[in-house]
Structure 1
Amino acid sequence: MFKSGPSGRRKHHRDLIQADVVSKIRRRANGLDCLRRCANLRSSSRIQGKRMRFNHRPIQILVEPSDYVLRNIGDMAMLYAATERLARLCDNSTINVLTDDPDALRRFCPFAIPLSAEGRALWLKPDFRPAKLKRFVPEHWPDRIRRHAPRLVSLFWRLKFRHMPNARAALLRFTDAVDRADLVLVSGMGGITDAFPEYALSVLETLNLALARKGRPVVMVGQGMGPLANAELRARASAILPRLHLIALRETRAGLPLLAELGVSKDRICATGDDAIEMAHEMRVDELGTGIGINLRLSSYSGVSADILEGLRHVLGATSVSLEAPLIGVPVSLEPCEADIDSIRGLMPTDETELNRALAIRTPNDLIRQIQRCRVVVTGSYHAGVFALANGIPTIGLARSDYYVDKFLGLADMFGTGCEMVALDHPNSAEKLRSALRRLWEEAPAIRPAILARAEAQIAAGHTAYRRIRDAIWDQG
């Protein structure tokens, strides 16, 4: 009982108010505590949910490779690295890879599921206007539609192919794969360049279609960018590349400033080196070889023609004799019109044993084992240099075009030591090659640890980039 009288009632009233306030404070504290626990639980659930979201179905991944027929050993290695890393990080995944040779893809990339590139080729054809609509859709509109409403292109093609079931089915397989993909990834290449304008434009338009699926990541890995002076290519690249979630560069000397010019934000770029480094590094042996690896790329984009073979043959042959080192062929391209074995045959003395060994090379593993027989590699093909440096073997890159100058100077920049470039259009190129070859031959054992350390740093950067890609898949809405 409270005291009688006004003062007693007032005190009792104050006590009730205080008790009520204390009770509310306690309830609020308990509620905040509960909210904190719920927030922590939700945060944990979100982390788990990133994984759990795909438990009911595989993660769908679509890969645009640099080689649809797998006749370039460097392209094989980059594609293998991309699919192997994706399969390891996204264990519940379906990795579809565009190809024109499904059997070759199955042999070289066991993690991949072949998807015919026919549908992509059809989608990229220029005039998708059905006959009955041509009078309503002006001739200059298809380019505008492809650039600003790429998904409409598929609709037009379906109308155009309504009486062509095979073409329609191929188109639908491609567009459905793009629509379903939780990730669209372009594997390692040097494809966005003036050297391959039509191919570069096709890759950019494929990326543009993929970007129409709002919220789902589109990335490029192991990229060598440029040179890019072509006005049309630059315009398309500056419209598309800044919208990608991530571009992982294999070199930064030329690629980084080019992407900055094209408007790509720094937070969407990382430097990883070439994806193929890891495969070659994992196969490394303890000792350097005893030979000189040789390769030359004869092609329009390398700027190298057969007239240069005689001078190189003389320098390499004389150095081989003086160092008592056999010349060892290290072919990368198996493409009939630019097969490296043809130029290697022109550089080597008549040595059937070595020629037959080079002729037998068909896979990245074959080439890596051949390169491990070398103490120094002299190459006009970029990936022979990548495989050599990944094994701690010094490399001299032979370049005659801006495309290959950028490749080899970029490779030298990433490794810091043990990689040099000789410009074949330099008036004193023969003496520069002879001098660099003899010097790197002598320095090879001493600089090998530094070369291997740079290879390992690039491999680590590559793994970080792929984890970032995995997280982007989990984070999509």
Structure 2
Amino acid sequence: MANRVPRSADVGRPEIRVLLENGEYWLNNKGDLAILDVMVRRFAERCPGARIGVLTSAPALLRAYEPGADPVCYQRGGDWSRRRWSGHSGVTSRLGPEIAGAPMNGWDAAVALPGKIAARVRRIAGRVGDTDSSGSETTSTTTGSVPLALRRDGGHVPNAAATASVVVAIGGGYLTDVDRFQTERTLNLLEYAIGRGVPTAMTGQGIGPLTEPDLLERAGRVLPRVDLIALREGVQGPELLRSLGVPPDRIVVTGDDAVELGYSTRRRQLGTDIGVCIRVAEYSPVGAAMQEAVGRVVRGAAAEFGAGLVPLIVSEHDAEDRRSTMPLLEGYAGAVAPLGRYASARALSRQVGRCRIIVTGAYHVAVFALSQGISVVGLSTTRYYDDKFAGLASMFGTGVQLVRLDRTGAEDRVREAIHELWAGAPASRPELLGRAEDQIRAGRAVFDRIVGLMDADATARRGPDTDPSLPPTFPR
């Protein structure tokens, strides 16, 4: 049985099985990949020999990005792999995601196709409920009745949850009204684990806006029972959790775990370019006229300062960031080529590091920048992104200016913010780096508490070089 817990060969005890709820199963977002990278590394360092399972819909692509992790494929039942992966000895690890990503993604798509076709046929026949865009079944909480059975028993919970040592929902902004499917899926997994005595934790969470009555009721049943919830911001999340009945001693504000990856890629000197990304999506609407206005402003500022323009592509879902960002650079002689589709999160963070300031409508571009001491003009048209950038401003204390693109005078306001941050960038950098170090320490301290939730012998495996009070060495 794939889910049977084997005995560890060295100590004769059950092996540690860490199950990570990943916020973006198709691995299309480099912000989520950064968080995943940090959490996999932390568990691998602190719990040698543990199996680190990652819930995903793209198991082959996951091996390209995280060769030390075990893919737990949600669409195929969510079982632990029958074969334990050898980590960095594999071919995909040696090639890296830039080379291996395309064929691995193609393999995932080919394997998933029969299931998608079958799901579509069943849906048309009226035998199942709605599906998400990937063809996987959704849950429904409209009646207050949530299936908590494993997938092998006809439910929605991945089979791997039955034998996990700990379940951790790693960072993201997916517990919110605008991502109902992932909100329900995560709450299902946590509730199943809690009901069976499996330790649970949530890290780097950006919770909310959460206003839908059924989602609030569902969250109020589950979240107060989670052992530990770490938030990436302290403006909205703590009050929302308290209103849901989460005990204060289970809530801690750490910042985003991707800060650690960003900080580790920082340069010794502030960069000289302007980075840009604009997110246009259903949850982040930006009209064509305003997109053109942002392009005029960033090209004009770059020409004035003699700077390069660097496209910073975070989300590759339907190429949304690429389609909306690249036109902003058209006609500018100093435009920098974008990274490829399967570039790593670390490569993107290094690209951010060549900039003096960033103009972005994508949250994790701002995280990578601020954690390297680079100031940010945040672009928003929704409360969802208002909250994201307000949270970053509270965590870093300086270097963030929010501009609402749906208000009168937005073009002038973007221009003014660019000039102000460009002039103040050197003075802001030391405080930003100090705030990043504080968040790294807080994140590692929470990780210590998560390890402490597991079997005592897992805590004893801590290595001598993992002091949570120290930030990563420069540069990694």
1:348 aligns with 2:329: yes
How many angstroms does 1:358 deviate by? 4.0
Which residue in the other structure is 2:245 paired with? 263
Amino acid in structure 1 at the alignment position of 2:181: E
* Pair 1:201 & 2:184 matched: yes
Map 1:209-248; keep pairs closer than 5 Å. Answer: 209-214=192-197, 216-248=198-230
Q: Where does residue 283 of structure 1 map in the other structure?
A: 265
In 2, Cα distance between the equivalents of 1:55 and 1:419? 52
User: Is 1:113 aligned to 2:70, yes or no?
Assistant: yes
TM-score (ref. length: structure 2): 0.77
Q: Does 1:322 align with 2:304?
A: yes
**Aligned amino acid, residue 319 of structure 1:** A
Note the C-alpha offset of 1:96: 1.0
**Alignment-mate amino acid for residue 435 of structure 1:** E
Corresponding residue to 2:55 among 87, 98, 114:
98
Deviations 1:338-395 (A, max 9, x none): 4212111221132587353345672112211211111000000001000011111111
Distance 1:62 1:141, change over 3 A: closer
**Could you list the per-position Cα deviations for residues 211-268 of structure 1 after superposition, in whole angstroms to 9, with x for gaps in the alignment?**
1212x21111110000011111111011111100011101111111111111111111
Q: Give the one of 352, 360, 363 matched to 2:344.
A: 363
Q: Secondary structure at the match of 2:366?
A: helix
1:402 aligns with one of 361, 383, 387: 383
TM-score (norm 1): 0.77
Whole-Å separation in 2 of the counterparts to 1:128 and 1:53? 46
Q: Which amino acid is 2:273 matched to?
A: G
Q: CA–CA distance in 2 between the matches of 1:437 and 1:364? A: 25
8 Å Cα contact 1:361/1:367 also seen in 2: no
- Following superposition, the deviation at residue 102 of structure 1 comes to 1.4
How much has 1:304 moved relative to structure 2?
A: 2.3
Deviation at 1:92, TM superposition (A): 3.1
Aligned 1:440-459 pairs, distance under 5 A: 440-459=421-440
**Higher mean displacement: 305-314 or 399-408:** 305-314
The alignment of Structure 1 onto Structure 2 pairs a total of residues equal to: 396
Paired letter, 2:186: V
**Partner Cα separation in structure 2 for residue 301 and residue 467 of structure 1:** 35
> Is the CA contact (8 Å cut-off) linking 1:345 and 1:355 kept in structure 2?
no
Range with greater deviation from structure 2 (347-356 or 460-469):
347-356
The Cα shift of 1:475 comes to 5.6
Structure 1 Cα separation of the partners of residues 293 and 142 of structure 2: 51
Q: Distance in 1 between matches of 2:10 and 2:367?
A: 38
**Which residue number corresponds to residue 62 of structure 1?**
19
Structure index of larger Rg: 1
**Cα distance, 1:399 vs structure 2:** 0.7
Secondary structure of 2:54's counterpart equals strand
For the Cα contact (< 8 Å) 1:273–1:414, is it kept in 2? yes
Indicate the residue corresponding to 1:430 in structure 2: 411
List aligned pairs for 1:411-422, cutoff 5 A: 411-422=392-403
CA distance in 2, matches of 1:431, 1:376: 17
Q: Which amino acid aligns with 2:207?
A: M
Residue 385 in 1 paired to residue 366 in 2?
yes
- Where does structure 1 lack aligned partners over 5 or more consecutive residues? 1-50, 130-139, 159-170
Counterpart for residue 24 of structure 1: none
More displaced stretch, 202-211 vs 268-277: 202-211
Residue identity matched to 1:387: F
Between the aligned partners of 1:228 and 1:244, the Cα distance in structure 2 is 18
CA distance in 2, matches of 1:128, 1:180: 28
Counterpart CA distance in 1 for 2:10 and 2:243 is: 38
Find the residue that maps to 1:357 and give its secondary structure: coil
Aligned residue number for residue 157 of structure 1:
154
The residue type paired with residue 440 of structure 1 is L
- Distance (Å, rounded) in 2 between the aligned partners of 1:73 and 1:426: 29
**In 2, Cα distance between equivalents of 1:352 and 1:204:** 49
Call closer, same or farther: CA 1:299–1:155 in 2, change over 3 Å: closer
1:191, 1:450 → 2: CA distance?
Answer: 29
Aligned counterpart, 1:146? 146
Q: 1:442 to 1:54 in 2, by over 3 A?
A: farther
- Unpaired stretches in structure 2, ≥5 consecutive residues: 1-7, 79-114, 116-122, 130-139, 458-476
> Partners in 2 of 1:234 and 1:409 — Cα distance?
22
CA 1:120/1:237 → structure 2, altered by over 3 Å: closer, same or farther?
A: farther
Select the structure that is richer in helix: 1
Residue 294 of structure 2, aligned match among 294, 308, 312: 312
Counterpart contact for 2:141–2:214, Cα < 8 Å: no
Between 255-264 and 375-384, the greater mean CA deviation after superposition: 255-264
* Partner Cα distance (2:71, 2:300) in 1: 47
Instruction: Identify if the C-alpha distance between structure 1 residues 245 and 141 changes in structure 2 by more than 3 Å, giving closer, same or farther.
Output: closer
RMSD: 2.9
